[in-house]
Structure 1
């Protein structure tokens, strides 16, 4: 089986997470400056077989779009254009950064590590991917 790659897309940084080849475990992969995301993705896709993308989709608690929804829509369209054979799935990312910090606290990570936004972005992508995997069951 191929991996599933998840994105916690942001204007400055994008957190990435990936499954194992059996698509059982979600693990943090990397945090990439969004300006360099396509280069990173190109290199990753040449090394690994990816079956699907999971993108955190920002909506407010009432289901309405956020300020960043339009940028995510543009990212999704470009993702589909560059990788038409890879399925794209959306997962509601409402509160994912707060959930990531809570998960890091529960996991016993030190405060210094939790303060680094790139660590939060990576963990948020991992939680989005875990949610997607659970929804598939």
Structure 2
């Protein structure tokens, strides 16, 4: 039984989150340099089989694709080549960075650590994954 991995793609850094094997709870995994994300996921997959990738789908307020969407499409192609047997789903990630920042503020983390974009990326990936899991459970 494998896990789901959520990917909050960024041009420079990418946030990752994972589920437990029961696919109930999402947990922050790592923030990696985007150019190293595929190799990180290959190593992770050797120890923890991945069943599915959930990739954040950034959209403008009006629902149109974000400017980074073409980069994400290229990344998805690389992911498909590297993991041909693992399915990929997209999930709306609007406002996850704002939600993550609010979560960090409410948790009492000091201002210096709040500015750590890597932390925001990991938490955003976790929010994307937990939201995805909840949406699937609500449909069951």
TM range (shorter): over 0.9
The answer for the alignment partner of 1:85 in structure 2 is 85
CA RMSD of aligned residues (A): 1.1
Which 5+ residue runs of structure 1 have no aligned equivalent? none
Distance in 1, Cα, partners of 2:126 & 2:61: 21
Match of 1:121 in 2: 121
Q: Give me the whole-angstrom Cα distance separating, in 2, the residues matched to 1:67 and 1:11.
A: 11
Q: CA deviation at 1:68?
A: 0.2
Q: Which residue of 2 aligns with 1:6?
A: 6
Encode CA deviations 1:43-90: one digit per residue, 9 max, x unaligned.
111111111111001111111112101111111122122212111111
Q: TM-score, normalised by structure 1?
A: 0.94
TM-score normalised over the length of structure 2? 0.92
Q: Distance in 2 between matches of 1:110 and 1:24?
A: 30
Deviation at 1:112, TM superposition (A): 1.9
Aligned 8 A contact 2:38 2:82 in 1? no
Q: Deviations over 1:105-132 (max 9, x none)?
A: 2233222221100000000000000110
Structure 1 runs (4+) deviating above 6 angstroms are none
Q: Is the 8 A contact 2:38 2:79 kept in 1?
A: no
CA distance in structure 2 between the partners assigned to 1:102 and 1:78 by the alignment: 33
Counterparts of 1:38-49 in structure 2, within 5 Å, are 38-49=38-49
